[in-house]
Amino acid sequence: MAGSRICRGARPGAGCEAGRGAGCRASCSRGQAPVLTISARGEPSRRSRTTADDRMLSTHDALIHCMVLTSAADAQVSDTELEVIRGIIANLPVFRDYDPSTMNETATACLAMLDDEDGIDLILARVKEALPARLRETAYALCVEVAAADLHATEEELNLLQIIRQKLEIDRLICAGIERGARARFALA
C-alpha cells in the first residue's frame, strides 16, 4: 500500500463514509486527527490532515478577514460595520471579480478562527501570506474604514489597527495618512 493513508482511529478492514474505517472518530472525519502516511518506501510518518481552514486564503478572503477582524475587535459586530463591509465589497475595484454571496461564509470562517487562543495572530499570518505586498496598504485602509464606520473607533479597534500595521509591516507614515483620510471622510458637520 505504498503512498496510502490510514486513519489512526480506524479498525483494520472496516469501512466508513470517508473510506477511513468504521472506527474513525468524528474529529477525524472533520480532518483534525493525525494521519499515518505510508510512503512509497513503506515507511510510516505522522502528519496532520489538512483542513479546509488550512488552505491559503484568496486575496479577497484575506481582505474580508481583515475587515471582519476589525469589526469584531470590540466584541460586537455592528450593523453599521456590516453595511460598510458590504459597501466596500460592492463598490471597490479590488473586489470587481469577487462573488459577494460568499461573504457570509468567509466572515463566519474568520470569526471561528477568533475562537482559537491565538486567533488574531493566526488570521493575520494567513492574511499576510495571501496578500501581495502591494495590497497590504489596501487591507489596512479597509480596516480603518470599518473602524470608522460607527464614527468612533474604540480602544480595542485602535489597538488592533496597530497590531495589523505591525503584522503586515506597513510604514507608520503611510498608516497615518490612511487614518487622516478616514477622519476627513467620516467627519461630522
Local confidence pLDDT in tens for the 189 residues of the chain: 443 333 333 333 334 333 433 433 333 333 333 333 333 444 443 333 334 456 789 999 999 999 999 999 988 888 899 999 999 999 999 999 999 999 999 999 999 999 888 999 999 999 999 999 999 999 999 999 999 998 888 899 999 999 999 999 999 999 999 999 999 988 888
Which of these, 96, 179, 171, 90, lies nearest to 133 by C-alpha position? Answer: 171
Alpha carbon dihedral 163, 165, 168, 171, in 10-degree steps, equals -150
Which of these, 61, 82, 56, 86, lies nearest to 70 by C-alpha position? Answer: 82
pLDDT of residue 11: 34
pLDDT of residue 29: 35
pLDDT of residue 36: 33
Residue type at 172?
A: R
CB atoms within 10 A of CB 31: 15
All domains of the chain in start order, with CATH = 5-49 (no CATH), 54-185 (1.10.3680)
The C-alpha cell at 151 is: 464614527
DSSP assigned state of 39: -
pLDDT of residue 148: 92
pLDDT of residue 7: 36
pLDDT of residue 41: 44
Residue partners of 147: CB distance under 8 A and separation at least 6: 70, 73, 153, 157, 158, 160, 161, 182
What kind and span of H or E run contains 48? strand 44-48
- Between CA 96 and CA 82 the distance in angstroms is 19
pLDDT of residue 54: 63
SS3 content of the chain, % helix, strand, coil (to 5): 60, 5, 35
pLDDT of residue 53: 53
Residue type at 164?
A: I
